[in-house]
Chains A and B, each alone.
Chain A
Amino acid sequence: MTIKHIEEYRDPDTSRKIIDRIQNISKSKIRIMEVCGTHTMSIFRSGIRALLPNTISLLSGPGCPVCVTAQNEIDAFIELSRVDDVIIATFGDILRVPGTQSTLQKEKGYGGDIRVVYSTFDALDIARRNPGKRIVFLGVGFETTAPTIAASIISANEMGLDNFFVFSAHKLVPPALEALLETDNVRIDGFILPGHVSVIIGTKAYTPLFEKYKIPGAVAGFEPIDILQAVSLLIEQIESGHPRLENAYIRAVTFDGNKKAQKIMHDVFETVDINWRGMGTIPKSGLKIRKGYAAFDAQREFDILVPYSKDPKGCACGEILTGMKIPPECILYKKICTPMDPVGPCMVSSEGTCAAYYRYHS
């Protein structure tokens, strides 16, 4: 496997040209939100912030799946890991997220059977090899991960597995953007839209939103030049007063998106109102397993209650995820909350805004 094409999207000369252009056309003070946590990390890792004129503020958005997972969901994951015959299968970065009383990582240290997998199909294998156990896959993620998890449920059904379950905490990006635009005190002049999510849902998924709110938007890839290009397009739109939805990631994103993935997702899941950390309940922004596949629904199989669940005191993750605060404005940041001893999820995830500030911001 070779990914050589990356180089051209990191080329110093090309980036210099785009930065010069940005310097020339940027006049008014603007706030651009990069919705996706992978963009946040890429921006910090490539040092883009320092190269932009001070007219431009980049805000991180609610596009870090671990960060927006509600506290009661994290607590439910932890409770599930304590059930005797349960093996938890999960992607890695949720392990360290603090619940109200513990973390999955600590439960692992205390003897919980918690396994990090790289694909949902690995979780199916675990189920097949452990017929006496119940395997719960933690379905955390956006439209990017939901189709593969849906596909694993379809496969489990075809294989006749009766010990594989998914706890669906999936969330959808477009409804969250609408909720942001409807929130008081949130001032966003343009969106850098997520690349991976858009590969699945296509730019058409954003069309109603952008027609309604007339806000500048650009779908972007994750290399420095992708991001700079998107910033440049957004400034042009803002300065010219012609907001629209543009695709700056045409090598991967189409208007229609991946129809096959959309169909699988639709076959297995239906939309549901769901609670986002820091944003409250957003209508039709979550995915629930449909009745036809209810046998694989962990929330139906297990009666997990977490009445003790509460958000960590003083943690500003919610305001940070909505662009209302930046991490240094949180009273816990760097004092009580560090990657060594995180209070909120934004300090934990490799995509988290607080973790990015902590690691890369001088």
Chain B
Amino acid sequence: MKTNKILLDHGSGGKISHSLITDIMLPIFDNPILSQLNDGAIFDVEGKRLAFSTDTYVVDPIFFPGGNIGDLAINGTVNDIAMCGATPLYLSVGLVIEEGFSLDDLEEILKSMSIAAEKACVKVVTGDTKVVPTGVADKIFINTSGIGLIPESVDIASHKARPGDKIILSGSIGDHGITVLTQREGMTFDSSVISDSAPLNHMVNGMLCVCNEIHVLRDPTRGGVGTALNEIANKSNAGIRIYEEKIPVKDEVAGICELLGFDPLYIANEGKLLAFVDPDRAGDVLAAVKDDEFGKDACIIGEVISEHPRKVFMQTRIGGTRIVDMLTGEQLPRIC
């Protein structure tokens, strides 16, 4: 049953989002830089390699434990640029504000954007503000775009995973998605889990200092670790095996997922990265990740295999094996 309307699933980051991008958007804007479909575009300008990325933030609620829409918008674009192996430098900020929005809230959001930018060592250098009538937007939407410089020896892209590569995950999964979910209207969880929203560019810098042969970097945001691994397996034409017992999930996140029938592998993260690294260098890179304030719980969760190209497998705790598929649309809470 096809549809001729945009549904929420088209924005879920799963298979339905992918088909929107590959079937409709790519053919219209077709060019070799876009078609790489990395977290950011990578291209040369007068001998320098640049990474350029954009993202729009519509999170509801706009304030949540661990952050707000403002610092999320800064960290998100900083991370997209960092995942290209680039040092993020300059950002733009576009605001779409609903008529009647509180000036105090706006100021709080802008201040936290400023603090986040300072922490990530990036500068907001241009911006735009639009106000729309009540009901046309939901409180505030933020777009950020950013540009960064890629060091000469770095060559990171999602198609570069190789059999044997170890997969490093920088910490526990699902914290951001579950935090936002529990703050939504209608959710009455008394939860102390907080969003992991954080800039990862300093962590990436530390990793590249010990090893410039990182093959793939990815921040598993919307769609979670499960979707990110599937994208990498597809683009690299390789198989991936991960181990359930190695993947850190906070007790609270696991508990809420159990109740709602969600799989934490598909829950959004905003301050975590996945790195695919040559097995001989994985120990050094892991140590560098752990040295960063946002990577204390990092661990190796699996490896790239030559069998079963384009599939992601998980060895379960009890020794079974299952496929980790890409999510189709948004996860919906189950009935029983």
Q: Is A50 an interface residue (CB 8 A)?
A: yes
When C-beta atoms are compared, the residue in chain B nearest to A3 turns out to be B255
CB atoms of B323 and A360 under 8 A apart = yes
CB atoms of A48 and B320 under 8 A apart = yes
When C-beta atoms are compared, the residue in chain B nearest to A2 turns out to be B251
Complex Cα gap A102–B7 (Å): 13
Complex Cα gap A66–B190 (Å): 28
When C-beta atoms are compared, the residue in chain A nearest to B190 turns out to be A1
Stretch from B49-57, B289-297, B324-332 forming part of the interface with A: B324-332
Q: Known contacts A12-B318, A15-B319; decide if A110 and B5 are in contact (CB<8 Å).
A: yes
Which A residues touch B314, using CB under 8 A?
47
Q: Mark B25-36, 1 if CB is under 8 A from A, else 0.
A: 000000000000
- Which of chain B's residues 179-213 have a Cβ closer than 8 Å to chain A? 185-191
Q: Known contacts A1-B255, A224-B316; decide if A65 and B186 are in contact (CB<8 Å).
A: no
Which B residues touch A119, using CB under 8 A?
186, 188
Count class of interface residues, chain A? 35 or more
Shortest CB-to-CB span from A97 to chain B, Å, is 11
- Which of chain A's residues 310-362 have a Cβ closer than 8 Å to chain B? 338-341, 343, 349-351, 358-362
- Which of chain A's residues 195-229 have a Cβ closer than 8 Å to chain B? 196-197, 224-225, 228
Q: Known contacts A6-B258, A47-B321, A109-B7; decide if A118 and B187 are in contact (CB<8 Å).
A: yes
CB atoms of A350 and B334 under 8 A apart = yes
CB atoms of A95 and B332 under 8 A apart = yes
Which residue of the partner chain, among B261, B333, B335, contacts A141 with CB atoms under 8 Å? B335
Q: Is A263 an interface residue (CB 8 A)?
A: no
Q: Mark A67-91, 1 if CB is under 8 A from B, else 0.
A: 0000000000000000000000001
Q: Is B284 an interface residue (CB 8 A)?
A: no
Q: Is A10 an interface residue (CB 8 A)?
A: yes
Which B residues touch A117, using CB under 8 A?
186
- Which of chain A's residues 16-75 have a Cβ closer than 8 Å to chain B? 16, 19, 37-38, 41, 44-51, 65-66
Which B residues touch A95, using CB under 8 A?
332
Q: Known contacts A106-B3, A106-B5, A341-B1; decide if A3 and B258 are in contact (CB<8 Å).
A: yes
Which residue of the partner chain, among A1, A45, A338, contacts B189 with CB atoms under 8 Å? A1
Complex Cα gap A228–B320 (Å): 12
CB atoms of A103 and B1 under 8 A apart = yes
CB atoms of A46 and B1 under 8 A apart = no
Q: Is B317 an interface residue (CB 8 A)?
A: yes
When C-beta atoms are compared, the residue in chain B nearest to A355 turns out to be B328
Complex Cα gap A94–B334 (Å): 8
Which A residues touch B5, using CB under 8 A?
106, 109-110
Complex Cα gap A360–B316 (Å): 12
Most buried by B among A12, A46, A110: A46
Complex Cα gap A5–B11 (Å): 36
Complex Cα gap A19–B6 (Å): 47
Shortest CB-to-CB span from A96 to chain B, Å, is 7
Complex Cα gap A341–B2 (Å): 7
When C-beta atoms are compared, the residue in chain B nearest to A91 turns out to be B335
Q: Known contacts A3-B255, A106-B3; decide if A94 and B323 are in contact (CB<8 Å).
A: no
Count B-side interface residues using an 8 Å CB cutoff: 49
Which residue of the partner chain, among A1, A44, A125, A142, contacts B336 with CB atoms under 8 Å? A142
Shortest CB-to-CB span from B189 to chain A, Å, is 7
CB atoms of B335 and A93 under 8 A apart = yes
Q: Mark B83-106, 1 if CB is under 8 A from A, else 0.
A: 000000000000000000000000
Which A residues touch B263, using CB under 8 A?
45
Most buried by B among A1, A117, A122: A1
Q: Is A105 an interface residue (CB 8 A)?
A: yes
Complex Cα gap A83–B329 (Å): 27
Which B residues touch A15, using CB under 8 A?
317-319
Complex Cα gap A314–B100 (Å): 53
Which A residues touch B37, using CB under 8 A?
none
Which A residues touch B336, using CB under 8 A?
37-38, 65, 141-142, 144-145, 196-197, 351
Shortest CB-to-CB span from A1 to chain B, Å, is 6
When C-beta atoms are compared, the residue in chain A nearest to B308 turns out to be A362
When C-beta atoms are compared, the residue in chain A nearest to B2 turns out to be A341
Complex Cα gap A361–B191 (Å): 34
CB atoms of B319 and A360 under 8 A apart = no
Complex Cα gap A2–B253 (Å): 9
CB atoms of A362 and B317 under 8 A apart = no
Which residue of the partner chain, among A1, A10, A92, A361, contacts B333 with CB atoms under 8 Å? A92
Q: Is A98 an interface residue (CB 8 A)?
A: yes
Which A residues touch B251, using CB under 8 A?
2-4
Which B residues touch A338, using CB under 8 A?
328
- Which of chain A's residues 107-136 have a Cβ closer than 8 Å to chain B? 108-110, 116-119, 122, 125
CB atoms of A50 and B320 under 8 A apart = yes
Complex Cα gap A174–B313 (Å): 37
CB atoms of B9 and A105 under 8 A apart = yes
Q: Is B59 an interface residue (CB 8 A)?
A: no
CB atoms of B261 and A38 under 8 A apart = yes
CB atoms of A46 and B335 under 8 A apart = no
Q: Known contacts A44-B322, A362-B311; decide if A109 and B186 are in contact (CB<8 Å).
A: no
- Which of chain B's residues 237-257 have a Cβ closer than 8 Å to chain A? 245, 251-252, 254-256
Q: Is B15 an interface residue (CB 8 A)?
A: yes
Complex Cα gap A343–B1 (Å): 7
Q: Is B19 an interface residue (CB 8 A)?
A: yes
Which A residues touch B254, using CB under 8 A?
3, 6
CB atoms of B318 and A46 under 8 A apart = yes
- Which of chain B's residues 1-26 have a Cβ closer than 8 Å to chain A? 1-3, 5-9, 15-16, 19
Most buried by A among B19, B251, B316: B316
CB atoms of A46 and B256 under 8 A apart = no
Q: Is A253 an interface residue (CB 8 A)?
A: no
Q: What are 20 pairs between A and B in contact, CB < 8 Å? A: A3-B251, A47-B320, A51-B319, A66-B335, A92-B333, A93-B261, A98-B1, A102-B1, A109-B8, A116-B332, A118-B260, A122-B185, A141-B336, A144-B336, A224-B316, A224-B317, A349-B334, A349-B335, A351-B334, A360-B325
Nearest first, the 4 closest Cβ-Cβ pairs linking A and B are A47-B320, A92-B332, A3-B255, A15-B318
Residues of A within 8 A of B (CB): 1-4, 6, 10-12, 15-16, 19, 37-38, 41, 44-51, 65-66, 91-96, 98, 102-103, 105-106, 108-110, 116-119, 122, 125, 140-142, 144-145, 196-197, 224-225, 228, 338-341, 343, 349-351, 358-362
